Amino acid sequence: MNTSIQLRMTVYASLLAALTAVGAYLYIPIGPVPIVLQNMFVLLSGLLLGSRWGLASVGVYILAGACGLPVFAGGLGGISRIVGPTGGYILGYLPAVYVIGLITEKIKQNMVFDVIAMICGCIIIYACGVTWLKVLTGMTLAKTFAVGMYPFLIGDALKIAAAAAIAKSLRPVIMRNCNSLDTRTTMHKEEI
């Protein structure tokens, strides 16, 4: 990957990290785990950037929050958010975005496989988040699912549908921009 493409991907990763932070401000507090929009941008990071760049984007977002920047739900930040009840969901973003990116890199990119990849990502986020929530709060497993997963399933289905449509629109633009940079670099090298 040449320098121009790396720079472009860095900009895309930074933009998606910023959008993830903005998505955290759009939240509805309904208990220990709020309804947020940030996970839609995590899903998009995997779809649009792939495994490595998606992981970088989400990693920057989590690092910014851990350093105290107000990027987590409700405009909060700090390490206490990561070790608190919602920390499992936040940390679950890392393996989820990597798996989503890996699936989209290995399998033909279309809406069906995008949806499958995002469902796998959501399962990972819930596995990490619900487990963490249960350990920290000591709730029964049934209560943990009732508080930490069931209320979010319909919203996540809507987010997956929206992310699939957004990815379908944006992926050709991102690919065209990266391919045109690669073509220009190759033509420039041939001229020299």
- DSSP result, the chain: --HHHHHHHHHHHHHHHHHHHHHHHSEE--SSS-EESHHHHHHHHHHHHHHHHHHHHHHHHHHHHHTT-S-BGGGB-SHHHHHSTTHHHHHHHHHHHHHHHHHHHHS--SHHHHHHHHHHHHHHHHHHHHHHHHHHH---HHHHHHHHTGGGHHHHHHHHHHHHHHHHHHHHHHHHHHHHHHHHHHHHHHH-
pLDDT at 192: 46
- Structural domain tally of the chain? 1
pTM of the model: 0.87
- Please say if the pLDDT value at position 184 is more than 50: no
* pLDDT tens digits, one per residue of 67-92: 999 999 888 899 999 999 999 999 99
The pLDDT of residue 179: 66
- Mean of pLDDT values over 116-135: 96
Given a cut of 80, whether residue 182 has pLDDT beyond it is: no
Looking at residue 102, which CATH number applies to its domain?
1.10.1760.20
Contact 40, 155 (CB under 8 A): no
Note the pLDDT of residue 27: 82
The verdict on residue 86 lying in a domain is: yes
Confidence bin at 191 (pLDDT 50/70/90):
very low
Residue 71 lies in a domain: yes
| % the chain with pLDDT above 70 | 92
Classify residue 157: in a domain, yes or no: yes
In a domain, 126, yes or no: yes
pLDDT at 29 > cutoff 90: no
Q: Would you state the pLDDT for residue 101?
A: 95
Model pLDDT for residues 112-125, shown as the tens digit of each residue: 999 999 999 999 99
- Predicted local confidence at residue 30, as pLDDT: 82
Residue 119 lies in a domain: yes
* Domain presence at residue 148: yes
The CA dihedral of 160, 155, 39, 179, to the nearest 10 degrees, is: 20
The parent domain of residue 133 ranges over: 3-173
- pLDDT score, position 107: 85
In this predicted structure, what is the pLDDT of residue 1?
Answer: 60
Please tell me the predicted confidence (pLDDT) of residue 16. Answer: 95
User: Does residue 180 fall inside a structural domain?
Assistant: no
Per-residue pLDDT band for 11 (boundaries 50, 70, 90) equals: very high
Categorise residue 71: left if φ over 0, alpha if ψ from -120 to 50, beta otherwise: alpha
**For 152-178, how does the pLDDT look when each residue is reduced to its tens digit (9 = 90+)?**
999 999 999 999 999 999 988 888 776
